[in-house]
Structure formats: C-alpha cells, structure tokens
C-alpha cells in the first residue's frame, strides 16, 4: 500500500506543478523545504552531522543556515524533476548552459566511448538531459533503481524522454563495459558512499568510502573521464562546465591507479561543493563509517 501511496502523492504533485507552470511551481520550494526541515524533519540530523564534519571551523549558525538553504535547493530540484513531463525540448535545452560541451563531442569522436561523471548537486537530471540534446548524442545513463518501483519507473521515463538510454546499476558489469566498447557515452553520478570494505579516498580531509567503479571502467577500457556538475544560478538556469579528469602520471600498479583516478575526480567534487555548499545532497549519509 505504501508504494502506491507514494506514487499517488508524486503523481498529484506532478499534475499540480505542471498545471501552475514552472515559474509559480518554483515558489513552492519554501513550503516544501519548511515541511521537511521543521515540521516533518527528513534526514535533518544527517545533514547537520555532515556539514559539521565537512566544515569543522564553521559556527553553528552558519551550519544551520546552510542546512536550511540546502533543503530549499533540494526542494527546488524535486519540483523541477516533476516538471520534466510537461517541459518542451527547447525548455530542457535552454535550462543548462554548457560552454565547453564540445569536449564531450571531441572525446566521443576519438572512438573509445566516454565516461561522464556528475554528482547529486544542483539539478543533476537536467544536466544529462540538456547536454545530450545540445550535442545530439544520447547518453547511456547508469541509474540506481529506487526502492519504490512506481517512483523509479516514473523518473526513468523522464530520463529517457528525449532519447537517453537507461542502464540499471544492478545489471551485469559486462553490460556497462559493452556500452563503452560500443563507443557510447555512459553517464553516472559518482558521489555516494561506497561499501565499508571498499576503497577510501580523501573528501573534506576524511578518508571516505567511495565507489571505484568509474575509475575501474576508465582503466579497463581506456575511455576518457569527464566531470560535469550542474550549478544552479540566481535566475534558476544551470551552468555546467566540463572538466576532463587528468589521466597523466598515474601509478603503474592497477589498484593504485584506480585509487588515484578516484581521488582526482573526488577532489573536483569537493572543490565545487566548497564553492556552493548549499547545492550538494547532504542528506546522503556519506560518512556512515
């Protein structure tokens, strides 16, 4: 019953926001944030804990102010994702400014495929949808299925609306390798907590469990790795500046090579978070262990 109820609420919000339009819908971010920050706190303790760990020199007032701004940012992202159903192709294209998008095209034309990394930052869904449309090349988007199948299917429908291919994370690794071997572009977020016994790299001065999958793919296939994060602007558009992850001067040992690449793309993430801390998804228990 609970999955169907969650889907009903999602569907209701979607129709309501679609009816009033994106400009008015965005104003509801304050209401949504207020509910889940003050009235029905969702992961509030986790958000505050994470901010204290990442910014130990901040005083408590700055921690709480950033947390509140973070809830508003996440609420806005949620609203925008629900509006994807009613958005036109032009609206999706114009949502993101990617000044060096030709970097993806150039790497794609080298014939090795490409690994496009992002993070749960700003509006990560807009980034993949908009840039793939701008360059005219579909992405194979690696996604982690939601626990609620109804919700998961709905979001995947939006992700594939303009031609991107959905590749569930639970599928055989061979399938993902095949996407790269077929010279395709795979897109994935790469900022969640890895397994407790997995690789650890430095994030905010903390040795943090981090997935090594993207770096392993790069080492095994020779595909270039590009990092792009959609940063929300004051006018609600997004700026996505791409950065190729440096693959020079890597260790000879394969395991150490994978760790160094993982550290390099994690350092890019940290740099952007420090610039716009309110836009990262602090609700994820990044330092659970």
Query: Can you give the pLDDT of all 289 residues of the chain as single tens digits?
Result: 566 777 777 788 888 898 898 889 999 999 999 999 999 999 999 999 999 999 999 999 999 999 999 999 999 999 999 999 889 999 999 999 999 999 999 999 999 999 999 999 999 999 999 999 999 999 999 988 777 787 788 888 888 889 999 988 766 677 888 889 899 999 999 899 999 999 999 999 999 999 999 999 999 999 999 999 999 999 999 999 999 999 999 999 999 999 999 999 999 999 999 999 999 999 999 999 9
Rounded Cα distance between 144 and 188, Å, is 9
| One domain for residues 154 and 20 | no
Predicted local distance difference test score (pLDDT) of residue 150: 76
Whether 170 is in a domain gets the answer yes
| One domain for residues 162 and 236 | yes
Q: Which domain holds residue 167?
A: 89-279
Rounded Cα distance between 12 and 61, Å, is 36
| One domain for residues 52 and 135 | no
Whether 104 and 135 have beta carbons less than 8 Å apart is answered as: yes
Whether 286 is in a domain gets the answer no
Whether 2 is in a domain gets the answer yes
Rounded Cα distance between 194 and 60, Å, is 28
Q: How many CA atoms lie within 13 A of 274 on its CB side?
A: 12
Count of domains for the chain: 2
Whether 247 and 224 have beta carbons less than 8 Å apart is answered as: yes
Whether 289 is in a domain gets the answer no
Whether 284 is in a domain gets the answer no
Q: Which domain-ending residue is among 55, 86, 117?
A: 86
Whether 117 and 265 have beta carbons less than 8 Å apart is answered as: yes
Whether 285 is in a domain gets the answer no
The answer to pTM > 0.95 is no
Rounded Cα distance between 94 and 82, Å, is 17
3-state SS track over 180-197: HHCCCEEEEECCCECCCC
| One domain for residues 274 and 212 | yes
Rounded Cα distance between 133 and 139, Å, is 10
Q: Which domain-ending residue is among 60, 86, 112?
A: 86
| One domain for residues 197 and 255 | yes
**Which residue matches tokens 């889907």?**
7
| One domain for residues 197 and 269 | yes
Torsion sign, CA atoms 195, 228, 51, 75: negative
């Amino acid at each position: 019953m609970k999955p169907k109820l969650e889907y009903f609420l999602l569907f209701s919000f979607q129709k309501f926001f679609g009816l009033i339009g994106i400009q008015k819908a965005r104003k509801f971010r304050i209401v949504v944030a207020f509910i889940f920050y003050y009235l029905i706190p969702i992961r509030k303790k986790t958000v505050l804990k994470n901010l204290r760990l990442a910014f130990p020199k901040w005083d408590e007032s700055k921690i709480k102010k950033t947390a509140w701004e973070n809830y508003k940012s996440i609420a806005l992202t949620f609203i925008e994702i629900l509006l994807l159903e009613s958005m036109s192709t032009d609206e999706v294209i114009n949502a993101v400014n990617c000044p060096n998008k030709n970097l993806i095209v150039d790497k794609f034309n080298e014939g090795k495929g490409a690994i496009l990394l992002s993070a749960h930052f700003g509006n990560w869904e807009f980034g993949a949808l908009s840039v793939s449309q701008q360059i005219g090349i579909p992405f194979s988007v690696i996604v982690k299925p939601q626990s609620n199948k109804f919700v998961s299917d709905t979001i995947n429908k939006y992700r594939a609306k303009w031609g991107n291919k959905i590749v569930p994370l639970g599928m055989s690794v061979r399938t993902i390798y095949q996407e790269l071997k077929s010279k395709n572009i795979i897109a994935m977020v790469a900022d969640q907590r890895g397994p407790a016994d997995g690789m650890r790299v430095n994030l905010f001065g903390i040795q943090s469990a981090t997935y090594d999958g993207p770096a392993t793919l790069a080492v095994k296939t020779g595909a270039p790795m590009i990092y792009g994060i959609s940063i929300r602007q004051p006018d609600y558009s997004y700026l996505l500046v791409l950065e190729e992850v440096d693959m020079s001067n890597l260790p000879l040992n394969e395991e150490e090579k994978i760790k160094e690449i993982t550290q390099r793309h994690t350092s890019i993430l940290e740099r952007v978070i420090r610039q716009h801390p309110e836009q990262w998804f602090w609700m994820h228990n990044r330092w659970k262990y």
